Structure 1
Amino acid sequence: MAGTINRDDIAAVRERAPIEEIVGQHVSLKSAGVGSLKGLCPFHDERSPSFHVRPAAGRWHCFGCGEGGDVIEFVMRMDGLPFAEAVEYLAERAGVTLRYESGAPRGSESGAGMRRRLLEAHRIAAEYFAEQLASPEARIARDFLRERGFDREAAQMFGCGYAPQGWSHLTEHLRGKNFTEAELKASGLVSEGQRGIYDRFRGRLVWPIREVTGDVIGFGARRLHEDDQGPKYLNTPETQLYKKAHVLYGLDLAKGTIRSERTAVVVEGYTDVMACHLAGVTNAVATCGTAFGEDHVKVVRRLMGDTGQAQLKVGSTGAKVIFTFDGDEAGQNAALKSFALDQQFLAQTFVAVDPEGLDPCDIRQRDGDDAVRRLMDRRVPLFEFVIRAALAQHDLETPEGRVAALRTAVPIVSQIRDRALRPEYARRLAGWLGMEPADVVGAVSRASRQSGGRAGGSSGGPGGAQGQPGGPQGRQGGPPPQHRSDEPPPIDPETGQIATVVASRPNPRDPVVRAEALALGALLQAQRAIAGDGPAMQIVSELSRAAFTAPQYAQIFDAMVAVGGPGEAPADWVGAVIEQVGPELASLVSQLAVTPLPHDKLAEEAAYARSVLARLLDLSLTRQAADLRGRMQRAGEGTPAAQEAFAEMIRLETRRRQLREG
């Protein structure tokens, strides 16, 4: 089996792989106070950001679902990788050379480096296809691009290539690069027949499909030759790298604009993406061989930071998703499917359709770049497009047709997410149908009540379910968070919102428990400021597990002591504590390690740490003094035991006064 990665190299990967950059490739992160970032959790659906990253601590934690960890664990969760492959993935990006302590070398056929090998195979294949585009045989591919307005520079920008005719050109090229048959089969670059493996893409124009990081994970290929009996477009099959339900073509190029403008444009093909980007619409993406679905929604939401802050009104400056569809029946069906997915967005959703049914590539070719931009400017709300498409199916010149159209359109209007817009569109519907507004408004109102006031099972507005502000219903998918009946629900310390937290957790509403959490957070995050002979370190030396009323916090403090304490903290201090406490408390440690501190300057951190540690010690001394009073009463006035307890009480009160005086 593959060798074990050297522990020091793993530590180097954790230190040198910037967690904010790795996470930022998947999540739109914004400042959450000094030294802290936050965004929408990529591991569960939520409307308000509860996913926090603390770069200084190298940790991430979601206060919503309770998940947390370091940069390696993020990659493991995000990409579904085993530990060794996640380390290798990050090592390659951080420039860390890994050493293996035993077993087979890295990258062997045992599979430890399979993802890395598959990415390398795709990188080489993309280069090979791009080189072949200049060959005499590829003239048909160059003509295809030129006829659609794409020159050599455009082809290079998008990595376009040509897969030559024949059965084994790419296969032999990759074999010459020492790729095994098992690796080639796993890559999806080859197919297998009775005589063995052969090139999957042959005689086709090829587009590399990249994930958000820029790595090539698959290809889309367009038929060019008349004798090609295959489908018009052929994509990479499902592989370890390529999951078509998650992939959006052009996302690597569009991600920056999507994040900055909080707007995504979803088109239908590779050439449409090219046309949009070349025309200045640089937030355009397309699905690859499948319809736009729920997993694509999650990808776009995370990039846009679709957090619910956007106002759900026409003309708002919030997040937007613009769909482009052909004007034919297939395009209208796609719009209906997108309308169902609309309920999963908090962004406003629009449709941009050319009156003549042209797609962005055709529009640019005929009328130029400005026409593509004008197409986006002419967008209409998705629900309006769906309503009008429904009306077009009926003969509105007859009473029977108008009534049938009303029955078709009313459920659509009743599902408009922003309930304040429903009456307005009911009145517009009445005008389109030539009916009395009061009758149509009443029909929509009845349909809304019958569906419980929901818009396709989602919230009615930016505040959460039924448009109410705050509360657990502000999160999608599932019942409110569960908690013990005798405790207040858990609260996200940054947002003050109810958090869905797994397992039993210390109650953050308890001021004593809150003080304990703040002290542990300071110990985990400000160990540099605490270390030395200062007042904060003096307080630490007086603390014991008895200072913590929450058993979980007492165990975490014990773990800190076991790994040396802040005075002798190892390089990966937080990781060492997590390793000591075990998996049961790992998430809680991550939470404490990313909860923002109010200061990040060393002197300010030292003062803050001293204050929260002093508060914790003060509470502990208060409890000890109360115990001593009870002992005095039980011992009886004047007894040696009572006198001894009294003397200890005086000492404790003196120390408490010192703590409060600073």
Structure 2
Amino acid sequence: MAGLIRRDDIAAVRERARIEEVVGAYVTLKPAGVGSMKGLCPFHDERTPSFHVRPQLGLWHCFGCDEGGDVISFVQKIDHLPFAEAVEHLAGKAGMQLRYEGTAEGVRSRREEPGRRQRLVEAHRVAEEFYRGLLDSPGAALARQFLAERGFDRQAATTFGVGFAPEGWDHLLRHLRGQGFTEAELMASGLVSQGNRGIYDRFRGRLVWPIRDVTGETVGFGARRLLEDDPGPKYLNTPETPIYKKSQVLYGLDLAKRAIAKERRVVVVEGYTDVMAAHLAGVGTAVATSGTSFGPDHIRIVRRLLGDRADAAAGVIFSSGATHGGEVIFTFDGDAAGQKAALRAFEEDQRFASQTFVAVQPDGLDPCDLRLQRGDAAVRELVGARQPLFAFAIRSVLAQLDLTTAEGRVAALRSAAPVVAGIRDRALRWEYARSLAGWLGMEEVAVRRAVQSAERAPRPGPSDVGGNGAAAGRNGYPSGPPDERRAPAGGQSRSFREDPVAQLERRVLEVVLQLPQYALAAGFDDLAPDTFTVPAYRGVHDAIRAAGGTRAYGQQVERLSSAGGDAAGRAAGWWADQVRENAVGPVAGVITELAVAPLPEDRPESLSAYAHGVLVALLRMGLTREIADLKGTLQRTDPEDPGYAQVFAELMELEGRRRSLTVE
């Protein structure tokens, strides 16, 4: 079919796109044994990491939600792209020119007809260059003045990509048309608007900030009004587009993500200039929302970068005061609107395992004004003087009532008790109940009773998206995360996971897929087709045999050795692809899971012995099954029967073979 990407180009994209780098742009990955990395799954909420990546095999799998695949499928799922566009996106990142079936010379220009998302990203890249180039123009005097009055020099503007959208109706429009973009692409990008007389520039006479996704690609813009006769809002953002979802982007995240992962801290501020001021003041973990409040989608993004973990929810504290899950610090203005925003943040707090704090400047200065008036140190001090969000939320409720009267204190207790009851950490809840009693001047038993009553009362609130749910309690399983909620294809119930035979078969297949060199040496290819008893694992064995067995892996290593480099590593990725391609139906997902599962033995010097041990155990188990069958036959055979001696001889041979199989 014309237009299909060539198969060998797709294979080249898989090889060139390093899966740990692609996934690492969305998830903080940490070492998880030899050749394995893990982090929080980007596709479902969890507190204990169950998302594993095998860079050498180019595969990923989540043992919490059973999603898995290769680098292309990851991009498809994370960015909601069809297969061809995901391949084009990865090819563009790798600087590859793709070839297509049925086109002139097999090549199709990316500028002529690339995937839609990539075209929209390219339009934003061109627009950003256009805006940035005009910041030094005579018409941008007000823009430069705005920046200077807030303490931002030209270098700061360059760092954050700040530009200027000129007055007029079609400056950017004409520029983009000159670059070959169609009207349909321009409308889809959100860079232009539709009027009675046609389309025109959305941003005009404004200071412009590029809004980038976590990978650093510009997907939208935020624009600040400069002209007094501008009838538009003070800040105007890109509308919702196929590549820009305001609930899923955080301004400054592309610059802050490494610091967030390193410091285990994120500081949430309220605007573009606040992010700039915080970063320039030394708070490199600052981010801001774009035209919307901080919500659940933002929380998921932050938690993945923090590596938010379940043990943090238990309140395990380092000597520095930070939990295992890190810190999330909200900065708000000290006015009523700021307090309201803080209380909204409190409603979402339970989605974090991290400790959450609020930093409010008493005189109401935001980070930008604070830096301008009192310097960089004042911004750092504001963040350093953070207070727990729980305490701030409770005190905010109390501040609205007159605590000097009995009626006011009772009303305050009724208002604050549900806030305390909303704290999921029971130990922390009762500590705040004790604090509330002190703030109100009431008996602690009365306050505890009010909190317990509020616990029982139905109340709306964020759902428990993590807790100790599916991902909890997995540590210690000898052949990958335990308590997996879905059995492999074949209809087995969860109990089969606990069956020692099924566990052994699983371990053997993990070795074959992850360490084929050891399986080859141990003679795995000589196993009978009916060796595996679990239907799903028998399907995996069938796929391995259809791929040529581990001998095919060995032959691939020999072929690649002549080219130099890491032949074994490249062959390992090829091997996993070959087995997956020969799988039938859902068995491919089981293969991915087995190929990514962490091995119980992760010391390099012990891998050979471990692999040999499980393979020998499977061989011995198969021989034991045959011996049992022969013994049954022998018992039913008359010793005078001519066939008795033959069966006995076969039995002795099998016994000898079983004795010869020893663990190294």
User: Do both share a fold (TM > 0.5)?
Assistant: yes
Deviations 1:428-482 (A, max 9, x none): 2223223233322332233235469x996549xx9x56xxxxx74849xxxxxxx
Query: How many Å separate the matches in 1 of 2:411 and 2:479?
Result: 51
- Aligned residues of 1:410 and 1:444 also touching (Cα < 8 A): yes
Match of 1:352 in 2: 359
Displacement of 1:552: 0.9
Q: Equivalents in 2 of 1:110, 1:332: separation in Å?
A: 51
Residues 251-286 of structure 1 show CA distances to partners (whole Å, capped at 9, x for unaligned) of: 001101111111111111000000100001000000
Cα separation, partners in 2 of 1:209 and 1:107, compared to 1, 3 Å = farther
Distance 2:121 2:327 in 1: 33
Is 2:297 aligned against 1:312?
no
Deviation per CA, 1:23-53: give whole Å up to 9, x if none. Answer: 1111111111111111111111111111111
CA positional deviation for 1:499: 2.8
2:483 match: 498
Give the 3-state SS of the residue equivalent to 1:373 in structure 2: helix
What displacement does 1:323 show?
Answer: 0.4
Pick the aligned partner of 1:547 from 531, 535, 539: 531
Gaps of 5+ in 2: 557-570
In the TM superposition, 1:443-522 aligns within 5 A as 443-450=450-457, 458=464, 464=467, 472=470, 474=472, 493=478, 497-501=482-486, 504=491, 507-522=496-511
Q: Equivalent residues in 2 for 1:60-459 (5 A)?
A: 60-102=60-102, 106=108, 113-310=115-312, 311-312=314-315, 315-318=321-324, 319-450=326-457, 458=464
Cα distance in 1 for residues equivalent to 2:290 and 2:397: 28
Task: Write the deviation string for residues 605-662 of structure 1: whole angstroms up to 9, x where unpaired.
Answer: 5444333222211111111111111222233333233322222222211211221265
Note the C-alpha offset of 1:414.
Answer: 1.4
Letter in 2 for 1:146: A
Superposed CA deviations along residues 331-372 of structure 1, whole A, max 9, x for unmatched, are 122112111110111111110000011111110011000000
Q: State the one-letter code of the partner of 2:506.
A: A
Deviation of residue 162 (structure 1)? 0.3
Helix, strand or coil: the match of 1:440? helix
Deviations 1:400-420 (A, max 9, x none): 222211111111011123221
Q: For residue 486 of structure 1, what is the aligned residue in structure 2?
A: none
Q: Provide the residue aligned with 1:613 in structure 2.
A: 615
Q: Distance in 1 between matches of 2:352 and 2:602?
A: 36
For residues 34-78 of structure 1, the C-alpha deviation after alignment (integer angstroms, 9 at most, x for no partner) is: 111111111111111111111111111111111111111111111
SS in structure 2 at match of 1:208: strand
- 1:492 shift after superposition: 5.7
1:524 aligns with 2:513: yes
The answer as to whether partners of 2:49 and 2:471 remain within 8 angstroms in 1 is: no
Rounded Cα–Cα distance in structure 1 between residues aligned with 2:286 and 2:575? 43
Q: Does the Cα contact within 8 Å between 2:331 and 2:360 map onto a contact in 1? A: yes
Q: What letter matches 1:199 in structure 2?
A: D
Question: Which range moves more in the overlay, 636-645 or 211-220?
Answer: 636-645
How far apart are 1:12 and its partner, in Å? 1.0
One-letter amino acid of the counterpart of residue 236, structure 1:
T
Tell me how far apart the structure 2 counterparts of residues 598 and 400 of structure 1 sit (CA, whole Å).
62
Q: Secondary structure at the match of 1:98?
A: coil
Q: What residue identity is the alignment partner of 2:315?
A: L
CA distance 1:517–1:501, shift in 2 (3 Å): same
C-alpha contact 1:5 1:101 (8 A) present in aligned 2? yes
Q: Quick one: which amino acid aligns to residue 28 of structure 2?
A: S
Supply the distance in 2 between the matched residues of 1:98 and 1:279 (Cα, whole angstroms).
44
Q: Is the 8 A contact 2:212 2:252 kept in 1?
A: yes
1:593-613 deviation line (CA, Å, top 9, x unaligned): 012346789986544433322
Distance between the aligned counterparts of 1:499 and 1:412, measured in 2? 35
C-alpha displacement at 1:313, in angstroms? 6.7
Residue range with higher mean Cα deviation, 32-41 or 186-195: 186-195
Alpha-carbon distance in structure 1 between the residues aligned to 2:127 and 2:184:
16
The CA deviation at 1:118 is 1.2
- Give unmatched runs, 5+ long, in structure 1: 466-470, 476-488
Q: Which amino acid aligns with 2:349?
A: D
Partners of 2:506 and 2:594 within 8 A in 1 = yes
* Aligned residues of 1:107 and 1:113 also touching (Cα < 8 A): no
Other-structure match for 1:557: 541
Secondary structure of the 2:302 match is helix
- Structure 1: which amino acid aligns with 2:485? T
* Cross-structure match for 2:563: none
**Equivalent residue letter for 1:631:** T
Change (3 A) 1:2 1:336: farther
**Distance apart, 1:491 and its partner CA:** 9.1
How far off is 1:205 after superposition? 0.4
How many Å separate the matches in 1 of 2:415 and 2:58?
A: 54
How far 1:109 moved relative to its partner? 9.0
* Cα separation, 1, equivalents of 2:471 and 2:609: 39
Q: Is the 8 A contact 2:525 2:545 kept in 1?
A: no
Describe the shift of the 1:382–1:222 C-alpha distance in structure 2 as closer, same or farther (beyond 3 A). Answer: same
Tell me which residue corresponds to 2:561: none
**Aligned residue identity for 2:423:** I
Q: TM-score, normalised by structure 2?
A: 0.90
Q: Distance in 1 between matches of 2:461 and 2:148?
A: 46
Cα deviation, 1:223-247, whole Å, max 9, x if unaligned, reads 1111111111111111111111100
Helix, strand or coil at the partner of 2:629: helix
Number of residue-to-residue matches in the alignment: 635
**Matched residues in 2 for 1:82 and 1:348: separation?**
38
CA contact under 8 A between 1:207 and 1:220: conserved in structure 2? yes
Amino acid at match of 1:300: V
Distance 1:188 1:78 in 2: 22
In structure 1, what is the Cα distance between the partners aligned to 2:550 and 2:75? 28
CA distance in 1, matches of 2:83, 2:550: 28
What TM-score does the superposition give when structure 1 sets the normalisation length? 0.91
Mean Cα displacement is larger for which, 290-299 or 570-579? 570-579
In structure 1, what residue type is equivalent to 2:524?
V
- Residue 23 of structure 1: aligned partner: 23
Question: Is it true that 1:623 corresponds to 2:625 in the alignment?
Answer: yes
Classify the secondary structure of the residue corresponding to 2:623.
Answer: helix
Alpha-carbon displacement from aligned partner over 1:512-562 (angstroms, at most 9, x marks no partner): 11111111111111224444xx4x1xx223202211011111111111111
Residues 655 and 304 of structure 1, relative CA distance in 2, 3 Å threshold: same
Residue of structure 2 equivalent to 1:479: none
Residue 272 of structure 1 aligns with an amino acid whose one-letter code is D
CA RMSD of aligned residues (A): 2.5
Task: Please say if residues 68 and 590 of structure 1, whose CA atoms lie closer than 8 Å, have aligned partners that are also in contact.
Answer: yes
Specify whether residues 638 and 328 from structure 1 end up closer, same or farther in structure 2 by C-alpha distance, changes over 3 A only.
farther
Farther off after superposition, 286-295 or 651-660: 651-660
